[in-house]
Structure 1
């Protein structure tokens, strides 16, 4: 399996850049079903990494282990230099891992700013009483949206009035707006049209340029080849291959997924 290390130039020469996240020999079973089998892969800082594979390959299960929904049965996940043992998604968020799920997890009857601060409400203490600081949350939401150039009508708009692309942008903005080191996206453009897909891809590339590490799960091989720096291929709960995107082709990735080509 390919396990790349990139090099950064320094005044004293070049040094290896440590992975931001390393999955080492991770397995997960649900009763007698082995969902993950001895998975090894890594994500580099400041890169877009893709995980691809057929339905049931274990992609989403692995992401749930990274984001605190599942705990591996065995193996180790190292994030930012330290082993992690997340017991909830809140633990992952506090560590700097944000996840944009396929269903977006937005509340349609709330406004954009309310969704951005859902479960992260800013409260002003007045003695024993806490009062929501709505003015500050709206102001911060406007800053977050403008920083990422998210195309939404206004932060006071209700989510149900937004297009699919705008909703996706809000979900990404929420993930990237709270000092996240890693943003995980599960099928980020699956339900979008061509123009909205292009806007979301621009947003993903902007996040990379700002130093975020991005992990995407996608069945869109053309998108994977356009966006990613590294591709990992999963099959039947195993990570069977890793390729630098610039050194592979869509045809090779498909062959690795189906087993037509050995890793």
Structure 2
């Protein structure tokens, strides 16, 4: 089941620097919700809080009506929130199935000795991958042989293996070419089609307009404006970020 996630009045300071000054976001079940803003807006800090990397000084995170406190990323994962960072954290020289099951390898006993169940991991990896990229079928392929978009698919499959209901994608198309960017946008559409709730952080306005349902714009650690994406153009979205407007244009 998809999850609704609400962050209310989140504050976070680093010494004298107030990175978040009462930010609130309300992310509906099964939507793609983009979070954007200029450099220093507080996007990265908010995502670290939602991912369990940072603990807020005050404020609340509620998932499906249940208040959650994340002291570590593992706490967030247990609550169904998985974060795919810009660097993906994949092991290039390992195979697709090895990356998907990294740290959670399946075993089966042979003469009382637990051995890696590679066949089952390949089978399940293919099941995860078929939800996102049906063209990628050889789970023995090394990740270093994949395109940027395909590597994103591997990282997303790991989130599916974690059984995450909320998937945070941090700048997923950064440094990708046009074709690979479109592959990643297709992955986001496919992920939404599986019923997941997606939080998208991106500087690429055209990507947000292409796949997001709603967008929250932050400015100087505060909420600036929240908008439905339908009808927005990349130029208009950029205008909101640069101008600091706090209400939709007529």
The TM-score with structure 1 as length reference comes to 0.86
Q: Which residue of 1 aligns with 2:130?
A: 146
1:27 aligns with 2:11: yes
Question: 2-side partners of 1:23 and 1:229: how far apart?
Answer: 18
1:147 CA displacement = 2.8
Asked whether 1:245 is paired with 2:229, we answer: yes
Tell me the residue number matched to 2:213: 229
Counterparts of 2:244 and 2:217, CA distance in 1: 13
Task: Choose the corresponding residue for 2:48, options 37, 52, 64.
Answer: 64
In the alignment, the residues of structure 1 paired with residue 129 and residue 142 of structure 2 have an alpha-carbon distance, to the nearest angstrom, of 15
Report what 2:194 is aligned to. 210
2:39 aligns to what? 55
Specify the alignment match of 1:4 in structure 2: none
Aligned to 2:141, what secondary structure does the other structure show? coil
Q: Counterpart of 1:14?
A: none
Structure 1, gaps ≥5 residues long:
1-17
- Corresponding residue of 1:201: 185
Report the equivalent of 2:115.
Answer: 131
C-alpha contact (below 8 Å) 1:231/1:245 kept by paired residues: yes
Cα distance 1:256–1:204, how it changes in 2: closer, same or farther (>3 A)? same
How many residues align? The count is: 246
Asked whether the 8 Å contact 1:233–1:257 carries over to 2, the reply is yes
Give the alignment's TM-score, normalised by structure 2.
Answer: 0.91
Residue of structure 2 aligned with 1:97, choices 81, 84, 109:
81
Within the candidate set 16, 29, 36, 2:20 is matched to 36
Tell whether the 8 Å contact from 2:35 to 2:216 is kept in structure 1 after alignment: yes
Correspondent of 2:145 among 142, 151, 161:
161
Match of 1:188 in 2: 172
Q: 1: distance between equivalents of 2:104 and 2:160?
A: 14
- For the aligned residue pairs, the C-alpha RMSD in angstroms reads 2.1
Residue 88 and residue 123 in structure 1: after superposition, are their counterparts in 2 closer, same or farther (change >3 A)? farther
CA contact 2:101–2:161 (8 Å) conserved in 1: no
The answer to whether the 8 A contact 1:19-1:45 is kept is yes
Unaligned stretches of 5+ in structure 2? Answer: none
Change (3 A) 1:260 1:81: closer
The DSSP-based 3-state class of the residue aligned with 1:83 is: strand
